[in-house]
Amino acid sequence: MTSRAKALWLTSRPKTLSASFIPVITAHALVLAEGRTAEFWISACALLASIFIQIGTNFVNDALDFIKGADAETRLGDARASQQGWFTHKFVLSLGIGCFVVAAAFGLPLVIHGGIPILIVGLISLLMGYAYTGGPFPLAYVGLGDLFVIVFFGLVAVSGVVFLHTSQILPSALVCGLQIGLLATVMIAINNLRDLEQDQLVNKRTLAVRLGPRLGRYEVVALVMGAFLLNSYWLHRGYLLSFLLPILALPLGIYLLQRLLNSQADRTYNRLLALGSLLHILFGLLLSLGFVFR
């Protein structure tokens, strides 16, 4: 991989990309579990649109956090392209907008298939991708970033894909979406705990800043345990494997929480962020397998 290609790859923040593909995979499997027809092309377009929205959001975040001073040389997280000078912030911002355009192109067949509801969801998702750190009311700067992830990378992502296949908003899709969204939010919550002191300096009022380090850690506990507790829904539905298989990911979740509760925010949180991504992937894939083989 060339240095320029590697820089682009790192700028996409690969540790966070599970937030884009796990909801689509799980939703596709849920459609099968519900006895409906799951069209491959629908899930493929949704997957690509979701990935490009995620990468676009990360690029825009990279550029705008640099402009606002949130990514200083003292930051504890992985290197950022604009801050490191790999690319100019204007170039990174243009890449982010370009990713949104590509996402819209992949979303167009979905709009044609799903109609006005999908058009509205798609436009709002693109807008929120930019508004995460941009615009007059940036979500990440006022403590709404965590809620944004739960809603758009959980509830909306899973329910939207299921709706495209079934033309219905299913209760099971909302539960599944909430589970996936809670675990996706673990990553941003850990990220914000790590960057709490730097964010305070630039008045970036993330939820971690508002709660403080102690309650911020308990937020992560609530996110992880909430996802696993909601698994009882699948037992109620008679989806035994969907209830049992995700429990195999619980030891990883407990290990992550133990490490988080017994450490201070420093560069070791980058490893915890990777563990959060792994938990999200493992839980989502195990839940999906439970749906497929129920």
DSSP string, 217-239: HHHHHHHHHHHHHTTHHHHHTT-
Mean pLDDT, rounded, for 265-292: 92
Per-residue pLDDT tens digits for 145-167: 899 899 989 999 999 999 999 99
pLDDT for 17 beyond 80 = yes
Look at residue 69 in the predicted model and tell me its pLDDT: 65
pLDDT above 90: percentage of residues in the chain:
54
Look at residue 78 in the predicted model and tell me its pLDDT: 60
pLDDT for 16 beyond 90 = no
Per-residue pLDDT tens digits for 24-43: 999 999 999 999 998 999 99
DSSP assignment letter at 268: T
Angstrom CA distances, 175 to 21, 38, 158, 170, 195, stand at 18, 19, 9, 9, 31
Mean pLDDT, the chain, integer: 88
Please, is 17 exposed, middle or buried when counting C-beta atoms within 10 Å of its C-beta (0-12, 13-18, 19+)? middle
**For 175, phi and psi rounded to 5 degrees?**
-65, -50
150 alpha-carbon distance from chain centroid: 8
Look at residue 1 in the predicted model and tell me its pLDDT: 44
Per-residue pLDDT tens digits for 224-256: 999 999 999 999 999 999 999 999 999 999 999
Distance (Å, whole) CA 74 – CA 7: 19
Distance (Å, whole) CA 193 – CA 156: 25
